[in-house]
Structure 1
Amino acid sequence: MNNDNLEKIEGKIIDRLCEMAESNNLIEPELFSKYNVKRGLRDLNGKGVLVGLTEIGEVHAYIIDENETIPVAGRLIYRGIDIFNIVNGFFKDGRYGFEETCFLLLFGDLPDKGTLMDFERLLSEYRKLPEDFVRDMILKAPSKDMMNLLARSVLALYSFDDNADDTSIKNVLKQCIRLIACFPALAVYGYQAYSHYHGNNSLYIHSPQPDFSTAENILHMLRPDSKFTKLEAALLDLALVLHAEHGGGNNSSFVTHVVTSSGSDTYSVIAAALGSLKGPRHGGANIKVIQMFEDMKQTVKDLHDDEEIESYLAKLINKEAFDRSGLIYGIGHAVYSVSDPRTVIFKKHVARLAMEKGLEDEYNLYLKVEKLAPEVIAKYRKMYKGVSANVDFYSGFVYRMLDIPPEMFTPIFAISRIAGWSAHRIEEIVNDGKIIRPAYKSVSKRRNYTAIAER
């Protein structure tokens, strides 16, 4: 049988099986209401179902007054400290803040100067990948998807760990710090392999610099000439700090708790979290924001005309423009409504980078869309709460100004969020909780087995 005939037969079989899979797995929507199922572990108002307790991160977006939920300006709190104060602290000192943030999330307190220096030295030492790992695990099997490559690399590191299945706090802590340290190299080298083998570009493998911060090393390893400005590194460092943690209920951190609760190893847990973050509903949204703005620039004739921009946004809502999803990407959040504190912080510093790069006009376009989008959404959608720009709205713009390729957008999120994942894994182990196993109710009808000759 030749390949053409095989593909035709295979296609027919798959089409028939696909129809069966779809029709036999469809659950009537009204049943979810009948049995009071909180789809997505959220109620009708979007409020998450309480499934656990954490001391690591807090997302605060509303207050309860006389049993009424009242949206307020969003707050993000790491280990009891407001993110605004954390950022102001290291910016005031002219320092990078990601390493300090990692320490705070992992150990629950801010380090003094000497302790922070020791922790930074440990991270610097752990940035080295096992011998021949880059050649054998990354360059010999380049992937077209950086998140898949990251997950594969993390699972491969299991084989280089003599105590991979040891889930004692001491061992897990060492594993997590190693992963936090080497994630930038795994991600950047994965991209360099992709760029070379799939993009026919020159291959650059720069070793991490021991005296560089995480943000500085990312830019150093990513750029052919390894050059960057202080402002560029500071903005990337800020992005890492703002993405490092977002409470235990976000999808990938919840996955971390779920898989950890089964007793699995650190590498499997982090690989699972990476698979969650890869999803466009979670970590890939900033790429969509960039693509949406590019489409807007091609479609809207006068980007200074508010009415034309409103018209384009209305078309997005009505599934008549861009990807016809009905979404204005970067606007709205599962928790925040009045404001996303990460956006508030980011926006103030993004303006400086836009000025340095000569992109003030594009920055002003972002400001305009941020103002108009909630008004358009309110006009066309029934909303239970307000909407505002989320952190994805500006992060993609920042990465593009930093000449970071789109393929690296979500991996940078992972480089940051592994700090939070690690903290949540340790928290789950320390508290020795039960295996997480929520209930699913079967709604299938009982029926008899039919002999194969009678089907």
Structure 2
Amino acid sequence: MSDNYEAFTTEKERLIDRLSEEKAFCMSKARELNRTDIIPDSLYIEKDVKRGLRNANGTGVIVGLTKVGEVIGYEFDPQGNKIAIDGKLYYRGYDVEDIFNNCVQENRFGFEEVTYLLLFGELPTKSELAEFNTMLGSKRELPRGFARDMILTAPSHSIMNKLARSVLAMYSYDDNPDDTSVENVLRQSLSLIGHFPALIAYGYQAKRSSFYNESLHLHNPIPELTTAENILRMLRPTGEYTDIEAKLLDLSLILHAEHGGGNNSTFATHLVSSSGTDTYSAIAAAVGALKGPKHGGANIAVINMMHDLYQNVKDITNESQIEDYLVKVLRGEANDHSGLIYGLGHAIYTISDPRAILLKGMAKKLAESKGLEDAFHVYEFIESQGAALYKEVKGIDKPMPANVDLYSGFVYRALNIPVDIATPLFATARLSGWCAHRLEEIITGRRLMRPAYNGVQPYLNYVPIQNR
């Protein structure tokens, strides 16, 4: 017993020493890299490099054409100056506002219709939509043993990383994974769209059980239910939800389903698809891109910021206290010390984000139904005063409209959707757009994307190791 204990202690000490050495090595090399890998900003200007694939005026570099979606946030005058305008978003040529409002007026679910539209380029008839819904329903349940072998046995702190791993694992359950014919890619796309609600729900349940010691609740998806209904059913321990909750989540999915070909994750789909790789690799890459805090992960930033606000503002009905908190945020003295008010501003939209306007209207109704009017007013205050505070504190004088992340943060909070699920929900919605863009790249792109980088490292003479 004593010998075993001493051996265990010795091995533990060795492991600690090895980890300490590894940390010291990486810290030392990181300092060196921070010196050697720096490229002066002046070189980017001198060589006319489009950093971040952006032009000097902030617009995106045109790298392709698409019929799937269009985002309009500004115009140009005859002199080429950018003019701010109200934002517009189109799915296959249809104004998303019209799609959204029709679903609200008819009190029906619409995400599956939007998915059909994005994939096939036309609005479905009633019979076509019914057939499509039946097909998606048949894809809701994961392959036999998948949840146990690929999700529950290897839980992750990040549901987005678990989602990417699950997508890649689907390759092994496909009898024809590498065929990039339109027919086969469409089959794979429908399977992934059907599976995503279970993938995110089970990934979340595995995390709760493994890391928080909470009860494991695994509800089977129901084929007849919509995407939004299945998500709420599988996320909640009791599987219960109300019709208004499911329809509000459905509307949120509609607004997140597509956003043109230039956003980071959709461009990643085009980029990776252009190499001729399989569907699972392309979609996993898109999930990885969306996870980033500068892209899809921004919705979590809003939720965390609001949590910090509630912790530090004694009276959320007092606008003066809210403003004091936001000033501290901009000065880098509160929240994550980034100096940013999350949920404001957008890379394309200048005056307004149409998704935020639509979601705000539904969020207000939800607030009234759940007695959350005071909480909703905090979001309204941030939207109304954000631009003025940016000008006052940072000297930034430009429109700072609410983006979709601001009010989606409120909706998720009101629906008691866990923070961990915010970005995976975004991915579940955007998957429809990703798959449509992958099909478009296969059908009409047909060319390997290969941008250029200019080498700016001076040439050096090799020095033998004994002379270094």
| Range that drifts further, 305-314 or 433-442 | 305-314
Distance 1:301 1:215 in 2: 35
| Range that drifts further, 40-49 or 123-132 | 40-49
Within the candidate set 314, 317, 341, 1:328 is matched to: 341
Question: Following superposition of structure 1 onto structure 2, how do residues 212-251 of structure 1 map, counting pairs within 5 Å?
Answer: 212-251=225-264
Q: Which residue of 1 aligns with 2:119?
A: 106
CA contact (8 A) 1:79 1:104 kept: yes
Seen in structure 2, the aligned counterparts of structure 1 residues 218 and 64 have a Cα distance that, compared at 3 Å, is: same
SS in 1 for 2:212: coil
Seen in structure 2, the aligned counterparts of structure 1 residues 301 and 94 have a Cα distance that, compared at 3 Å, is: closer
Within the candidate set 273, 278, 287, 1:265 is matched to: 278
1:410 aligns with 2:413: no
Seen in structure 2, the aligned counterparts of structure 1 residues 430 and 385 have a Cα distance that, compared at 3 Å, is: farther
CA contact (8 A) 2:317 2:374 kept: no
One-letter amino acid of the counterpart of residue 346, structure 2: H
- Per-residue CA deviation, residues 249-297 of structure 1 (Å, 9 max, x unaligned), is 0000000000000001000000000000011111111221122122222
One-letter amino acid of the counterpart of residue 429, structure 1: I
Q: Which residue of 1 aligns with 2:196?
A: 183
| Range that drifts further, 20-29 or 192-201 | 20-29
> How far did residue 380 of structure 1 move?
3.5
One-letter amino acid of the counterpart of residue 387, structure 1: M
One-letter amino acid of the counterpart of residue 59, structure 1: V
Q: Which residue of 2 aligns with 1:284?
A: 297
Distance 1:261 1:83 in 2: 28
SS in 1 for 2:276: coil
| Range that drifts further, 291-300 or 271-280 | 291-300
> How far did residue 450 of structure 1 move?
0.4
Within the candidate set 41, 45, 60, 1:48 is matched to: 60
CA contact (8 A) 2:171 2:177 kept: yes
CA contact (8 A) 1:152 1:271 kept: yes
> How far did residue 170 of structure 1 move?
0.3
CA contact (8 A) 2:208 2:216 kept: yes
Distance 2:16 2:261 in 1: 50
SS in 2 for 1:142: coil
Distance 2:48 2:397 in 1: 19
SS in 2 for 1:126: coil
Within the candidate set 19, 24, 31, 2:36 is matched to: 24
CA contact (8 A) 1:45 1:384 kept: no
CA contact (8 A) 2:158 2:420 kept: yes
Q: Which residue of 2 aligns with 1:209?
A: 222
Question: Following superposition of structure 1 onto structure 2, how do residues 261-410 of structure 1 map, counting pairs within 5 Å?
Answer: 261-381=274-394, 383=396, 385-410=398-423
1:119 aligns with 2:132: yes
CA contact (8 A) 1:61 1:337 kept: yes
- Per-residue CA deviation, residues 287-314 of structure 1 (Å, 9 max, x unaligned), is 2112212222232344334333333222
Q: Structure 2: which 5+ residue stretches go unaligned?
A: 1-12
CA contact (8 A) 1:310 1:373 kept: no
Within the candidate set 61, 78, 93, 1:66 is matched to: 78
> How far did residue 377 of structure 1 move?
1.2
Distance 1:8 1:220 in 2: 45
Runs of 4+ in 1 over 6 A off after TM superposition: none
Distance 1:228 1:219 in 2: 7
Seen in structure 2, the aligned counterparts of structure 1 residues 111 and 199 have a Cα distance that, compared at 3 Å, is: same
CA contact (8 A) 1:105 1:420 kept: yes
CA RMSD between the two structures: 1.4
CA contact (8 A) 2:326 2:341 kept: yes
> How far did residue 319 of structure 1 move?
1.2
SS in 1 for 2:138: helix
Q: Which residue of 2 aligns with 1:427?
A: 440
Distance 1:340 1:216 in 2: 27
CA contact (8 A) 2:273 2:441 kept: yes
Q: Which residue of 1 aligns with 2:165?
A: 152
CA contact (8 A) 1:96 1:213 kept: yes
- Per-residue CA deviation, residues 369-424 of structure 1 (Å, 9 max, x unaligned), is 11011111123345574211100001122112111111111100010000000000
> How far did residue 434 of structure 1 move?
1.4
SS in 1 for 2:333: coil
SS in 1 for 2:265: helix
Within the candidate set 23, 26, 37, 2:49 is matched to: 37
Q: Structure 1: which 5+ residue stretches go unaligned?
A: none
Distance 2:40 2:301 in 1: 31
> How far did residue 433 of structure 1 move?
2.8
| Range that drifts further, 64-73 or 6-15 | 6-15
CA contact (8 A) 1:188 1:221 kept: yes
Seen in structure 2, the aligned counterparts of structure 1 residues 41 and 381 have a Cα distance that, compared at 3 Å, is: farther
Q: Compute the TM-score of the two structures, normalised by the length of structure 1.
A: 0.97
Distance 1:371 1:156 in 2: 45
Distance 1:89 1:6 in 2: 62
Within the candidate set 79, 101, 116, 1:88 is matched to: 101
Q: Which residue of 2 aligns with 1:7?
A: 19
Give the share of equivalent positions with the same residue, in percent: 51
Q: Compute the TM-score of the two structures, normalised by the length of structure 2.
A: 0.95
One-letter amino acid of the counterpart of residue 434, structure 1: R
Seen in structure 2, the aligned counterparts of structure 1 residues 12 and 64 have a Cα distance that, compared at 3 Å, is: closer
> How far did residue 248 of structure 1 move?
0.2
CA contact (8 A) 1:71 1:385 kept: no
One-letter amino acid of the counterpart of residue 414, structure 2: M
One-letter amino acid of the counterpart of residue 193, structure 1: A
One-letter amino acid of the counterpart of residue 378, structure 1: K
CA contact (8 A) 1:313 1:328 kept: yes
- Per-residue CA deviation, residues 342-388 of structure 1 (Å, 9 max, x unaligned), is 00000001111112221111001111111011111123345574211
Distance 1:20 1:237 in 2: 49
Distance 1:15 1:208 in 2: 47
Distance 1:11 1:65 in 2: 54
